[in-house]
Structures are given as C-alpha cells and as structure tokens.
Structure 1
C-alpha cells in the first residue's frame, strides 16, 4: 500500500499541529459565531479545532492538495466544509468571512504576501486575520537534534541542509509584524506559542523526524549505509542524552501574529 503525503504528514506533524491549533485559536480570539476561513488547512487540524471551539460558527478549510483534504474529510464536523483552492487566489467574493487564519503555511509559500492580501480581501472590515509559523531555527528542538548532527558530521552538505531549512522569510515575531503592518492591518499583536512534542522512544522520534520535512528525508536516504548509520547513531545519542531510550518531551515553539482588517 502506497503511503500518501497526508499519511506522512499525519505521522510526522499532525499530532503536533493539533496541539498548536488549540494554543493558536486562544491567541486569535475570533468571534464565537460567524464565518471563519482556514487558509492552507492541510489535513484539517486547525479547521476541526475551530469547529470544536466555535460550534455556532461556519468554518471553511481550503487547501491546494486534494490528498490532504481527503484526510480532513475523514474527520469532518457538521459546521465545517473543505474546498480545494490556492491561498494566493482564493475563490471567494470580497468580504466573505468574519475571520481568516492560517497555520504553518506562510513560510512554505512562494508568495506569502499575496496570500495575506487575499486573506485581507475576503475578510470583512473589522475582522481578524491571523497566522502562525514554526520557529524553525530557535524553537524546534526535534529538528535541531538532527540538523546540528548533520552539520557536524557532513561539513558542506550538512551545513547546507541546515541553512536551507532554517532560511525562511518569517524567522521572528518582528518579521510577521512587519508583514501585517505593510498590508495595512491594525491592532497588530504577536506572540510565541509553545507546545510539547512527546515521543514514546527514539524510534517514534525518528519516524516523526523523517516525515517532518522532505529535505531531511531526501538527505538521509541519499547517504550510503555507513554514513546513514553514523548520523542516526549521533542523533540517537543526542535524543537519549546520556540516559536510556524511552519517553522524551521536547519543546516546540511557533510565532503568531494577528491584526484587524480595515476598509479595503
């Protein structure tokens, strides 16, 4: 049976994005009713968390990947609908939603500014627009264990991999604040949201890691057997930290921003 992109995402990041969704929604503080739009909804972690938090609201999740939406539909709620579409060209009329938000998407888009412009266009004046992204270089310990080991063991290629994954447009709260301000939003606030990534053992961690980012997976699978063993051993030593293999709880943080839409 072929493993889909949605399956890989759920194993690697789905459980963590669901935890983050709860913290993010508390930060967004959207109205308890009305219409909400989740842009780049993926497998529906944020959309479905919003459905639980706001049972009187009507929530739309939109994503470009039908495979992800297929996974989301398995857990659909009565007040939710999922649609296929591009974050940079949303298929909705102006001022269609009371709130628009996006989780873990902006740093992976080729044109994040265009996505924000679209979110602003489809949100009614006075509505909330918010987003969150992983704090990759400073807040993802589970990535650091691997990327630092790769950079030490494989000077050039390992260093390049770490730089490529950490080189994202919005690497701190100020960068997100500037994006929101440049778009004309008001009452802008930012925050760093933290969750725990709990792993049963190193194998659980390793499976999550390899599914977390295609560049990590491609790098590891490109190594010869001896190099791959050396890297996995080094990462395992970092994971167990001088103790026995078993449960570990690593901190993960995300950067969040919210603002209020004016007249467009």
Structure 2
C-alpha cells in the first residue's frame, strides 16, 4: 500500500505537532467558549487539542489537502468540523470567529501576510490571532544533523539545500512581531515554545527525517548511492553520539506570536 500525504506527515511531524499543540494553546489562552478556527489544520492535531480543552467552544479546522482532512476526521470530536479551504482566501464571512490560530503553516506559504490578513478578517473585534512556526535554523537539531552532513559530503548541492530550508521569511520572534503589527493587531506578544522529540532508534529518526520535509526526501533519493551512504552514515554517527543505538530525546523549538484585533 502506498503511503498517503497524511501517513508521511504523521510519521514525520504529526506526533510532534500534537505535543506542540498543548504548549501553543497555553500561550494562545483562548476563551473557553465561542468559535475558534485552526487555519492550515493538517491532520487536526491543534484542532482536536482545542476541542478537548474547550468542550463548550465550536472549533473549525481548515486545510487544502484532502488526505490531511480525511485523517483529521478519524479523530473528530462533537464540537469540531473540518472544511476544505485556502488560508489566503478563507471560506467564511467577516467576524465569524472569536479566535483564529495557525500552527506550523506561515513559513510554508508563498504569501504569509495574506493569510494573516484573512485570519484578521474572519475574527471578531477584540478577538485574538495567534500562530507558531518551527525555529528551523536554531531549534530543530534533528534536521540540522542531516543538513550539516549533507552540506559537507554532498557539496555544493547539500549546502544549497541547507540554505534553502533555512532561508525562510520568519526566523525570529522579532519578525513575527512585525508581521502581526503590520496586520494592525494590538498588544502583540511573542515567545519560544520547546518540546522534546523522542525517537525509538536511528531508523525511527531516519524515517521521520525523510518525511519531515519534501526537499530533504527528494534530495536524498536523488543522490549518488555512494554519497547517499556517506551522508546517512555521518547522520547516524551524529545521532548515536558514540553510544549504542536506541532511544534519543531531542529538543525542538517553535516561535509563537499572538495579538488582538482592534475595535
């Protein structure tokens, strides 16, 4: 059976986005009732976490990828619904929600400012808007172990891949603060959220890595077999750290921002 987009996402990031959701919702501090929208909900980690935390709220998850929504529906809660929609053109009227949030989406969009504008549009006056993004450059050691090895052993293609993955619009809390301020949001605040990524062994880590980013997967599968082996071996040595194979727990960090719609 061929793996679906949702299967790949769950292996690579789904388990970590669920863990991040708890910390992110603490930061969002949404009202315990009313209507909430999760923009770019993926397989529903944040949507379902919000529905569980706020059983008296109505939560809507929106995503463009049908595979993700099909996976999300498997765990649907009574106070949740999922809809297909584009973050840059949300299928909802103005002032439809009390809170809008988005997890791990903005740095994968061509026009993040447009998505933020749409979140503002569909949120009521004084409602809150929040988002989080992975700190790819300084906060994802499990990706950096591979990219640093590839940059040296598969130069110059590996070096270009590292730059491409790290060359993202929002690399700091200050950049997120400016994005929220430029959108007209008030009382803007930022923070860094940390979780732990737990891997059973190197093979678990490796499968998660290759699914974490399509650029990494495509790059590795197209490498010359000898160089690919060198890159994998170097990454494995970094993972093992001179010890036997087995469980590892690596810190991963995300940056988050929140603000309020004006009156």
Q: Which SS does the other structure have where 1:19 is aligned?
A: helix
Q: Could you tell me how far 1:155 is from its partner in structure 2?
A: 1.9
**Which residue is equivalent to 1:206?**
206
Q: How far apart, in 1, do the equivalents of 2:126 and 2:173 lie?
A: 23
Task: Report matched runs for 1:174-253 at 5 Å.
Answer: 174-253=174-253
Structure 1 alignment gaps of length 5 or more: none
Question: SS at 2:151's partner residue?
Answer: helix
How much has 1:132 moved relative to structure 2? 0.1
Matching residue of 2:136 = 136
1:137-181 deviations in Å (ceiling 9; x for gaps): 000010011000001112210110000000100001000000000
The aligned residue for residue 36 of structure 1 is: 36
The runs of at least 4 consecutive aligned structure 1 residues that moved more than 4 Å come to none
Deviations 1:196-227 (CA, angstroms, capped at 9, x unpaired): 00001000000000000000001110012211
1:154 aligns with 154
| Gap regions ≥5 residues in structure 2 | none
Q: Deviation per CA, 1:101-125, whole angstroms, max 9, x where unpaired?
A: 0000000001100000000000000
Partner of 1:25: 25
Shift of 1:95: 0.3
In structure 1, C-alpha distance between the alignment counterparts of 2:262 and 2:149, rounded to whole Å = 47
Please state if 1:65 is matched with 2:65: yes
Deviates more, 1:40-49 or 1:222-231: 222-231
Q: Secondary structure at the match of 2:126?
A: strand
Corresponding residue for residue 13 of structure 2:
13
RMSD, aligned CA:
0.5
With structure 2 as the length reference, what TM-score do the two structures score? 0.99
Q: TM-score normalized by structure 1?
A: 0.99
